[in-house]
Copies of this chain bind each other. A is one copy, B any other.
């Protein structure tokens, strides 16, 4: 006897949800989607919203419907599989898809959709080419350039040209362009410095794109950018696509960097223990990301979460009795959504829908 069932909660107040529950406020979400769609409507660069921030296929469809979007970005193969299964036909995996078995899965996706991948090594090119040829498809790839984050990607310039030449020689592969992600700069706190640092970091991408074109290589797509840099990278040559993700739902960290977007995501929690100077809510590390710090309690500016335990959030200076529902804005939406299976949708405090989070958890 699990009660109440999900369907029976539609039309009920948000507070009727069993806790912890992940809730999206539809008006704030619509505001965020419209803001970015409008911004890119009149610009040459377009949006390719990042699935990793919410992992919900229904929300990805809303992002496409909002306009100015050419497709969806995602972080890994299993996310792309969820997107294609959900009817989305233009996907960029902004990451390396490594190993023969995964290469075959990627090739299989390209039978019914355009699913591109970032690449940065010869061994990976060989795997992808072999799988594509065996499946009778062509896989479009973007060469990833490391512009200072020092994660994946090759240095700009000659190493990119070398990979481009190999792609041209590899049956089953098609060079579609470049990826360069300024992940080390997207949340830089000072807006002026952020702008200057991003412009500087992207100079080698411009040079490399020219090198490629001069050598007769195609460079149709150049992908990068995030919620904190959409209005910087989105206006820089040669970028054609911006991979912003957090803008849709936001969190209390990104809100400081990009205040034009609204916090559309919260965790509904219940006070399960109440004491003289603190209370304890029923959500912790297993329902909330922690790597960007402590969350914020909506509507309670004096409340101070003390730490995030596994299943508890002790909160100082929040007078509340046992049973009270509270709304918690997490410090990182991406890792929070990854912990939940369902995203509840609320319109003015009434539950109107629930969306599966198909990509949640540690996908392979």
Q: Which residues of A contact B (CB under 8 A)?
A: 1-4, 17-22, 52, 75-76, 81, 95-96, 98-99, 101-102, 104-105, 108, 120-121, 123-124, 127, 150-153, 183, 270-275, 278, 280, 282-283, 285-291, 308-312, 314, 321-323, 334-335, 338-341, 360-364
Contacts and interface: CB of A to CB of B under 8 A. Distances in A.
Given A121-B274, A273-B151, A20 B105 contact: no
A15 to B, nearest CB: 10
A102 B18 contact: yes
Given A104-B3, A121-B273, A152-B273, A21 B364 contact: yes
A361 B306 CA distance: 23
State the number of copies, please.
2
Contacts of A151: 273, 280, 309, 312, 314
Contacts of A362: 20, 22, 283, 286-288, 339-341
A356 to B, nearest CB: 12
Contact of A338 (B17, B286, B334): B286
Nearest to A289: B285
A96 B279 CA distance: 13
A288 B339 CA distance: 12
Contacts of A104: 1, 3
A364 B98 contact: no
Nearest to A1: B108
Nearest to A21: B364
A285 B278 CA distance: 29
B361 A310 contact: no
A96 B18 contact: no
Contacts of A285: 289, 291, 335, 338
Contacts of A286: 335, 338, 361-363
Nearest to A4: B101
A20 B323 contact: no
Given A20-B362, A272-B95, A335-B285, A123 B280 contact: no
Nearest to A341: B361
Contacts of A127: 323
Nearest to A271: B98
Given A52-B311, A81-B2, A152 B272 contact: yes
B99 A323 contact: yes
A266 B361 CA distance: 17
A144 to B, nearest CB: 8
Contact of A278 (B99, B150, B312): B150
B121 A76 contact: no
A361 B364 contact: no
A132 B341 CA distance: 30
7 contacts: A18-B99, A95-B272, A99-B323, A124-B323, A151-B273, A152-B280, A291-B308
Contacts of A314: 150-151
A323 B101 contact: no
Q: What are the nearest 10 A-B pairs in CB distance?
A: A287-B362, A18-B364, A152-B273, A1-B108, A96-B272, A98-B272, A339-B362, A121-B322, A123-B322, A75-B311
Contacts of A20: 362, 364
A123 to B, nearest CB: 5
A290 B288 CA distance: 12
